[in-house]
Structures are given as C-alpha cells and as structure tokens.
Chains A and B, each alone.
Chain A
Amino acid sequence: MTIQFNDETFYDDFTFRNSERAIRRFPFPFHEDSYMYSVNLEPHLSLRPGSVYEKTFDVDEHYVSEMRDRARVLSDDPLRCQSLPHMTLAGWDLLELIMVEKAKDYPDLFELHRAGDRWHWINKPLGIEQKFTFLDETTLPCGPMEYITRQAQGDFALLDHRDDNLWMDAGMVTTQADWSLDFDIGMNFYEWHAPVPKAHELGVFQRALKFLLNLQQGAPVRRLNWTMTVNPLLDTSPENYHKWGVQKTSVTSENVGSKYHLRVELQTLFRLPRSNALAFPIRCYLIRLEDLVTVPKWGRRLHRVLRDLPEELATYKGFIRNRPMIVGYLSQFDDGAETSPGIWPD
C-alpha cells in the first residue's frame, strides 16, 4: 500500500504524531496575517498533487487509527451517530459518493464492484469486505450512513433541504470542535449556528445559506474552519467536556509548544442525487505548534493571527485563558519579516 498507516491514539497517552510529509501537507488555514469570519467557500477542485485538496476525500497516515478512535467513541456514546427516519436515502447517497470516489482516487486501497444493485466493497486498510444490495438496508450490518462513516475520516452531517433552509437531520460526529449532534439534530442552518459570535451580524450566515441552497450536483465546494486544542484529542465534544476541559490547565510556558495544536477542519459540501440533501463532511487535521513552526511562514503568521484575533472569537474558540502563553511561545518564531500571500509554505 502506498500510505504507511500510523498506529497511534488520540486520547489518554496521545501517541498521535504527524510525519514530516503530514506536516508539509497540513491545511494551513490563513492566507493573510489576520482572520475574521467570511463566506470562505470555493469550488472543491483538485489542487496540487500530494496536498489534502487533491482528492475528493483525503485519506492519510492517520486513517486506521482515526477509525479505531471513532469506534471507541461510539461504543461509549452511541448518540454520536443519529439519523432521523426520513434521512435513510441521503445515507445511501453518501455511501455511494464515498465508495465511488475512494475507489477511484485510491484504487490500491479501496475497490467497488457493481453489477446492477449488487455491490461488492473492499476496504483493504481496515480489512473489510462487504457484499450488499444497494438501497436494501437489511444487507448491511447497520444503516448506510453509519456503515460508510465508520470507514471515512472526519465527521459528517446530512442536511435535508426544505422550506428554503437546511436541516441537520442526520450525522456522525465524533471529532467535533465542541458541539453536540444530539442537541443540534433537527435544527436549521440559523439555529445550529446560533452560538457563533459576530458572523450573524456580518451577514455571513445569510449569504452562505443562500449559496448552499443553490448548490448543484457535481459542483462541490469547500471551506476551512479552525480552532486550538490542547493535546491531540479528536473527541472534544461537549458531552465529554467535563472530562477534557481540565486539560486546558495543564499548559505551561514550557510545554505549550508540544501541548497546543492548531485544529483545522476541511469542510466540503456536496449535493446528493436521490435525496436532494447536502452532505457536509468535516475533516479534522491536527498539528502541534512545535511542528507547525518548522514552516517559518506559518509560525510568523499564526503568531500574528492569534495575537490580533478579536477577543470574542478567542473566547468562543475556547483558548482565551491560554492565549498569552500561546502568543508568547509563537512570538519567538516571528522575526517581523513580511509573509507572502496565500497558504502555501515558501
């Protein structure tokens, strides 16, 4: 196989590591030295071979371990995967999208053989082989959305399109930046975004929703979102916040570079063919600050972005208490030199 999969954990002993290659291809989210919410949507087109934007669904060295982490979180809390009854067809649409794209983009890892509605799926990294009948739920071990998202990195939301709005009526959510699927399921676009500061006033959500309601099949889009996380903890859920919140107090000026991670979500949006629903994969990438500053442009820029970020955003993103330490650490890597435009390393 072309990818060497890591054997690592995202909790307790946190053995997660990024290889040199993973560091270089990290989706650094800042194209300039400051940040504010905007309707940052662009076509999800293949970009730069080797980058996380090359394939429809990026598969990387963390794949196998992330899927193990998902199974662990689900067995502790099955409510992380829910689908309202009318969303089963959208689940099949998603299963098809992921299987077809992965088999096309990674033929050495995944195979899909179809003869009419008789499908045969082979997932080599996870050692899974499944023959089933497309659109017949009784031929899979669980619902189609759950089945395929146990084999795909990142969280997934399925949005029903009705009444000129999007309704989050299904999802698989185990690697979230502090929001609860169980609480938000059934909400519309404005309701689940309600806690976000500033963006409503800026008209960001109105414009974004209008754009998404017109999203066409075959023309997916993407955007990046980001936050800061202590330890490479994928499951920063509100459900478990009473357990992980205290990790924020374990940060010192000595360990901040290895404890703190920039957490970036590569979010994509696809119109689905049969259900007319939207699929919203939210792929999470983590990088510790020590690794990030090995790219000099990124170290300089992250320092400036975090230093100047409006207080409301730093509070909402949950790192206001540790911001002075983070900025202090990053300032060592900012010599004041100008940074080049765009996200790529120089």
Chain B
Amino acid sequence: MPRFQFPKSIQSRPVYGTLTARAGTSHLMLADAEGADALVDLAASATELMARAHVIYIPKATGATYTERLRALKPAQLYVGPSLDAALPRLRKALADAHMGLQIYLAGTEGLIGQAMQEAIAAGYPASAIQTEHRGSVARRVQCVHCKGITEDVETTPFVCSHCGLNLFVRDHYSRRLAAFQGVRVDAEDPGEVPVSEGLYQ
C-alpha cells in the first residue's frame, strides 16, 4: 500500500518519518492496522532487532491480515489486542519496566502514534528515543473545543461530535498534550447551515 503524502501544513501539526533500526538495549514497538507493514519493513532491514523486541499490535479493521506476518518476525514478545485502551496498562508497564537505552517505534494511524507518544513522554522518555511512521488510514483523533470530548478515527470534515452532537469542522491545529486535532462548530455563525461533509484532504 503506497504511503500517504501529507500536504504541507501548519507548525503545530506533527510530521512523521520512516522507522529505522537504532542501537538500544531493548525495543518497544507499537502499531495499529497497516502500521504492521512498517514493522515488517523495519525487521527486514535489521533482523537482529526482533530478538529484543516487544511488539504491541492493535489490528483494528484489518482483522487477522497482519498477525501471522508479525509472528513470523519472531519478536521476543508479541501482544495482539482489541483496542489501544485495552493495551494501555501493558504499554505503561512496558515503559515503566524498561531500562535506559529503550528504543520506541510507533507505526500506524495518527491517533495511535499521538497517544503512545503521550504515554512515552509522560513516562520520561526523550523525544529522541521515539520514532514514528504513519501508515494506513488518515483518520484523525479530534477534540471538540466546546464540550472537550474526543472523537476517534474522524475521516470527514465536518463531522458530528460523538459527545455533544455539534457539527465540527476539523482544523489542522494539533495539541500533543491531548494527542488530538481541534474541532470547531462549523455552523456557529449560521446555525443549521452545515456544509456537505468531505473526506479529509479532499
């Protein structure tokens, strides 16, 4: 699957790179859906990495597509979980238990990358120990600026806030603290006049 080229944007918006193997005592890899492809590519470039790797994987809508391929990489530990929320306690434990020299690899959707980044930074890891690579869906995690509720996997703008029901325009302004883009009521000045919803980047 070709990787999506994000258009040039404003400076609060994160940019993603390509995972590369780094020297480290251990390696924590977290991916969702097509993010598995990035781990497969990473392992291909540095096979020795996987013997010291803990892989946490959330397949989302891809079901069983990637799990065997990940298992074939023979990571030291592989966990396949139903959601990021379900995997969080495990992720936190892994971050807390790790020693100096842990390398962190995040791959997949922006929502997963952003939230895992929050956890890693909260656990005290420097940004320099964390690499990211976007793969798969370009959906965003969006915070409603009005009710503060967060809606996951937003694919269109405007969209309906899953908490308060307002029609929100999706901005490019991004908060790393919240791991979310900002959503603002689209028809605030003309109540009821909601533009036709379009895919992001259309």
Contacts and interface: CB of A to CB of B under 8 A. Distances in A.
Contacts, number: 64
Nearest to B10: A194
Given A183-B145, A186-B176, A238-B145, A245 B188 contact: yes
B34 to A, nearest CB: 28
A183 B143 contact: yes
Interface in A213-256: 238-242, 245-246, 248-249
A200 interface: yes
A242 B188 contact: yes
A333 interface: no
B177 interface: yes
B173 interface: yes
A242 B11 contact: no
Given A183-B182, A238-B145, A192 B12 contact: yes
Given A241-B146, A242-B146, A245-B185, A200 B173 contact: no
Interface in A45-96: 79
A193 B12 CA distance: 8
A291 interface: no
A8 interface: no
A25 B177 CA distance: 41
Nearest to A178: B184
Contacts of B173: 183, 194-195
A187 interface: yes
A178 to B, nearest CB: 10
B11 A248 contact: no
A321 interface: yes
B175 A184 contact: yes
A240 B176 CA distance: 22
A284 interface: no
Interface residues of B, number: 23
B18 to A, nearest CB: 23
B94 interface: no
Interface in B170-190: 171-173, 175-178, 182, 184-185, 188-190
A26 interface: no
A35 interface: no
- How many chain A residues sit at the interface, stated as a range, is 20 to 34
A7 interface: no
B145 A239 contact: yes
B188 A246 contact: yes
B11 A238 contact: no
B148 interface: yes
A249 B190 CA distance: 8
B74 interface: no
Nearest to B168: A242
Contacts of B178: 183
A242 B166 contact: yes
A306 interface: no
A48 B188 CA distance: 42
B63 interface: no
A312 interface: no
A37 to B, nearest CB: 15
Contacts of A190: 11-12
24 contacts: A180-B145, A182-B148, A183-B178, A184-B175, A186-B177, A187-B177, A190-B12, A191-B11, A191-B12, A191-B176, A193-B11, A194-B10, A194-B11, A195-B173, A200-B11, A238-B145, A238-B184, A239-B146, A241-B145, A241-B185, A242-B185, A245-B188, A245-B189, A246-B188
Nearest 5 CB-CB pairs, A to B? A245-B188, A194-B12, A194-B10, A186-B177, A242-B185
Given A195-B12, A239-B146, 9 more contacts: A180-B182, A187-B175, A194-B12, A200-B11, A238-B145, A238-B184, A241-B188, A248-B189, A249-B190
